[in-house]
A and B are shown apart, each in its own frame.
Chain A
Amino acid sequence: MQRCSAMTTPKTNPMQRRYWLILCCGAAIVMACSKKWAEPPKKAFEGFSRPANFPEATYRFANNAITEAKFELGRKLFYDPRFSRNNTISCGSCHIQSAGFTHHGHDVSHGIEDRLGTRNSQAIMNIAWGKSFFWDGGVTNLDLQPIVPINNPVEMDETIENVIKKLREQPQYPGLFKKAFGSEEIDTERIMKALSQFMVMLVSANSKYDKVMRNENNEQFTEAEARGYALFKTNCASCHKEPLFTDESYRDNGIGAGPNNDPGRFGVTQNEADRLKFKVPSLRNTLYTAPYMHDGRFLTLDAILEHYAENVRNTPNLDPALKQDGQPGLPLTAENRADLLAFLKTLNDQQFVTDPRFAETY
């Protein structure tokens, strides 16, 4: 561009100037285009694949076979704020990729008009293996999961009916639905299934732990990590079951009711034995997903280990695994805690939180 403007000296007549101007514009266009061409080609879409160290997924792919067009539509919908009443909040607002698809730094999330929710935004990862969703497991079918935040007055405060209406009015969507589903029709099933496609593709299985387990690149635990892994297997693995690091059960881990007195699983079952029980969260990607617990009360992993070592409350439904000889708590020394922290770090998957396929723009 500089060269072009240097060429347009006062000596040139208006005709010539126009000529140069056109030439410059043309060059700029070509440059812009070539910049695009110079980008590395997108990796061909590979669909869903089960990591070698993972079990079979639980999502019913038979009802929603993964295709590139559906996945792409799902991603677009995931990041579209039209799912909220005033078009401000998208799924991605509270499930941010760099935060392991949680709402980093928020104990509970703020939704539409900054209304506060009551629970900590959960990580969307490896949910193709999920048997139930939400801290209380109220939904067991992923295709029905998005309805909850959309309807919730403190999250998106919108109806699916209205979302459908808004999407139909957007010129780009009918074509995208046609590409994905064969016709331009937009309905509940198609929206939910496209969103599910994006979500089940969010597989995190490339942490150091995974590479050690798969014997990849001769990756090995350090001594501290290995000690931490051994401690993990004795003290934590019964609930945080490998390789997903959750057994998908609901348990009371003795943190006691929070200020909002959230009853947890009880809210779904109305069974007293479920009071204060919450879904066991995965221990993967904790580097990115702080704060922790259903109400985000713990800011650091060390604070959680301190809780398990020293502050477990003897609540009526306290999980038996958290009692030793009738006393609540786990026998963890300071050294044990340091080793456990070293191990937990091996569960962070940087590739997952930076994978361009899952980003808002790709």
Chain B
Amino acid sequence: MKYFSNMILPAIASLLILAACSKEKETTPAGSNTLAPLSVEFDNIVGGQNLQLNTGVYKNAKGETFSVSILQYFISNISVKKADGTEYVVPQDSSYFLIRESDPATRFARVKVPEGEYTSLTFTLGVDSLRHTMDLSKRKGVLDPAGGMEDGMYWGWTMGYIFLKLEGISSAAPVDGTGQHKYRYHIGGYGSPNFNNIKTVTIDLRAGGVAKVRQGREANIHLMADISKAFTGTHDFSIAEWPMIMLNDISIKMANNYATMFRHDHTEN
């Protein structure tokens, strides 16, 4: 019995110490600074015009006219950097946003970062490959694969998120099964080495205005997202030739195109 208690006491003591340690670890935030709100605004445009769903008519690089009925894309893994190079990565679980043109409330990606002045913003356009392999308990909210086929952003049969979905009407598109001249671009692809459309975008904020993050204010980095870039860049797309792009090699070229669509307009501090 004595032997037993001799063993147990140190065991309990060490357990307590361990517990104390791990508790301390949990309560300490990643950075020592106070967190304050920062938002990134995604203002969708088409060339020199504001994007107006369904009603706006635009022209692509090939001279084809088109309208937009659906535009939505994933923004994730946001990080910010100061002039001295220190970087803050937003905790990943709070860093997934689905920007949907049809819902103005979704145009802001709202995060919390330590107070300070940030000169550079980095984010993923799409969903990182690791998240694709995570348990469903880590895939709530915009990552919930419950969306279905129509406006959903998940391909069940290949287990991948659609990173960007762009659909609309164009007289250049042939009549489809629904009797419409519709083009449909669903761009995804994360898994195989020769098929990865995850894009990392870094934006220099110095010219348009650094983000001054402090408590009691919400610094807002206002970006323009020019969706006409999907049609032009390293490869000029013709809607007549490509009325539908989904899981297909050609999507790599379209993803390379639209990865350049973001431009920093200004920052509201």
A contact residues vs B (CB 8 Å cutoff): 60, 63, 134, 136, 138-141, 143-144, 147-148, 150-153, 158-162, 164, 187-189, 192-193, 267-271
Q: Are B159 and A161 in contact (CB under 8 A)?
A: no
Q: Are B194 and A271 in contact (CB under 8 A)?
A: yes
Distance to closest chain B CB from A187 (angstroms) = 8
> How far apart sit A188 and B146, CA to CA, in the bound complex (Å)?
6
Interface of B is mostly: loop
> How far apart sit A49 and B150, CA to CA, in the bound complex (Å)?
40
Q: Are A189 and B136 in contact (CB under 8 A)?
A: yes
> How far apart sit A187 and B136, CA to CA, in the bound complex (Å)?
10
Q: Are A161 and B148 in contact (CB under 8 A)?
A: yes
Q: Are A188 and B154 in contact (CB under 8 A)?
A: no
10 A-B residue pairings within 8 Å (CB atoms): A138-B157, A140-B159, A147-B145, A152-B156, A153-B149, A187-B140, A189-B137, A192-B136, A268-B158, A270-B195
- A residues near B192, Cβ cutoff 8 Å: 269-271
Q: Are B136 and A147 in contact (CB under 8 A)?
A: no
3 tightest Cβ-Cβ pairs between the two chains A and B = A159-B148, A160-B146, A189-B136
Using CB atoms, name the residue of chain A closest to B189: A270
Q: Are A139 and B156 in contact (CB under 8 A)?
A: yes
Q: Are B148 and A141 in contact (CB under 8 A)?
A: no
Known: A161-B147, A188-B146. A151 touches B156 (CB 8 A): yes
> How far apart sit A136 and B155, CA to CA, in the bound complex (Å)?
14
Using CB atoms, name the residue of chain B closest to A139: B159
Known: A151-B149, A161-B147, A271-B194. A143 touches B247 (CB 8 A): no
Q: Are B156 and A148 in contact (CB under 8 A)?
A: yes
> Does B152 count as interface, using CB distance less than 8 angstroms?
yes
| Further pairs besides A60-B135, A63-B137: 17, Cβ < 8 Å | A136-B157, A139-B157, A139-B158, A141-B159, A143-B136, A144-B136, A150-B156, A151-B149, A158-B148, A159-B148, A187-B140, A188-B139, A188-B146, A192-B136, A267-B247, A268-B247, A269-B195
> How far apart sit A136 and B159, CA to CA, in the bound complex (Å)?
12
Distance to closest chain B CB from A229 (angstroms) = 37
> How far apart sit A130 and B159, CA to CA, in the bound complex (Å)?
16
Distance to closest chain B CB from A275 (angstroms) = 13
Pick the residue among B133, B137, B139, B146 that contacts A159 (CB under 8 A).
Answer: B146
> Does B144 count as interface, using CB distance less than 8 angstroms?
yes
> Does B248 count as interface, using CB distance less than 8 angstroms?
yes
Distance to closest chain A CB from B163 (angstroms) = 16
> How far apart sit A187 and B145, CA to CA, in the bound complex (Å)?
11
Distance to closest chain A CB from B62 (angstroms) = 25
- A residues near B195, Cβ cutoff 8 Å: 269-270
> Does B249 count as interface, using CB distance less than 8 angstroms?
yes
Using CB atoms, name the residue of chain B closest to A150: B156
- A residues near B194, Cβ cutoff 8 Å: 270-271
Using CB atoms, name the residue of chain B closest to A269: B192
Using CB atoms, name the residue of chain B closest to A140: B159
Known: A159-B147, A188-B144. A63 touches B135 (CB 8 A): yes
Distance to closest chain A CB from B240 (angstroms) = 23
Q: Are A188 and B157 in contact (CB under 8 A)?
A: no
Interface core residue of B139, B146, B154 (most chain A CB under 10 Å): B146
> How far apart sit A12 and B251, CA to CA, in the bound complex (Å)?
89
Q: Are B156 and A147 in contact (CB under 8 A)?
A: yes
Distance to closest chain A CB from B256 (angstroms) = 16
> How far apart sit A305 and B249, CA to CA, in the bound complex (Å)?
37
Q: Are A188 and B136 in contact (CB under 8 A)?
A: yes
- B residues near A151, Cβ cutoff 8 Å: 148-149, 152, 156
Distance to closest chain B CB from A120 (angstroms) = 16
- A residues near B147, Cβ cutoff 8 Å: 159-161
- A residues near B145, Cβ cutoff 8 Å: 144, 147, 160, 188
Interface core residue of A158, A189, A267, A271 (most chain B CB under 10 Å): A189
Q: Are B149 and A147 in contact (CB under 8 A)?
A: no
Q: Are A159 and B144 in contact (CB under 8 A)?
A: no
- A residues near B140, Cβ cutoff 8 Å: 187, 189
- A residues near B248, Cβ cutoff 8 Å: 270
- B residues near A269, Cβ cutoff 8 Å: 192, 195
- B residues near A153, Cβ cutoff 8 Å: 149
Q: Are A148 and B157 in contact (CB under 8 A)?
A: yes
Q: Mark B230-269, 1 if CB is under 8 A from A, else 0.
A: 0000000000000000011100000000000000000000
Q: Are B152 and A159 in contact (CB under 8 A)?
A: yes
> How far apart sit A134 and B144, CA to CA, in the bound complex (Å)?
21
> How far apart sit A361 and B149, CA to CA, in the bound complex (Å)?
32
Interface core residue of A134, A188, A192 (most chain B CB under 10 Å): A188
Q: Are B146 and A164 in contact (CB under 8 A)?
A: yes
Distance to closest chain A CB from B138 (angstroms) = 9
- B residues near A141, Cβ cutoff 8 Å: 133, 159
- A residues near B156, Cβ cutoff 8 Å: 139, 144, 147-148, 150-152
Q: Are B159 and A159 in contact (CB under 8 A)?
A: no
Using CB atoms, name the residue of chain A closest to B194: A271
> How far apart sit A329 and B140, CA to CA, in the bound complex (Å)?
49
Q: Are B136 and A193 in contact (CB under 8 A)?
A: yes
- A residues near B249, Cβ cutoff 8 Å: 270
> How far apart sit A148 and B158, CA to CA, in the bound complex (Å)?
9
> How far apart sit A147 and B146, CA to CA, in the bound complex (Å)?
8
Distance to closest chain B CB from A219 (angstroms) = 40
Known: A159-B149, A188-B145. A134 touches B157 (CB 8 A): yes
- B residues near A193, Cβ cutoff 8 Å: 136
> How far apart sit A302 and B97, CA to CA, in the bound complex (Å)?
54
